[in-house]
Amino acid sequence: MKIIINGHEKEISKGTTIKKLLEDLKVLDKTMAVAVNMKIVKKDAWDKYELKENDKVEALNFVGGG
């Protein structure tokens, strides 16, 4: 099935959770917040939240600067 992650189309398996997606993308340890269809999903729910066809996912990380 297809989702959009940070503006890019990606093919994933049915039943893929947010945590699995981030692990597959190798960004789990860098990601601080995730929104699915403009709604924040709490980090403690990432391993239970199954993505659906055409979900729009934004994975955000915080960058320090000065």
pLDDT tens for each residue of 2-61: 999 999 999 999 999 999 999 999 999 999 999 999 999 999 999 999 999 999 999 998
What 3-state class would DSSP assign to 43?
A: helix
AA letter at 38: M
User: Could you tell me whether strands 39-41 and 33-36 are parallel, antiparallel, or unpaired per DSSP bridges?
Assistant: antiparallel
Q: How confident is the model at residue 5, as a pLDDT?
A: 97
47 backbone φψ class: left, alpha, beta (φ>0; ψ -120 to 50): alpha
pLDDT at 64 exceeding the cut of 90: no
Q: How confident is the model at residue 46, as a pLDDT?
A: 98
Q: How confident is the model at residue 65, as a pLDDT?
A: 64
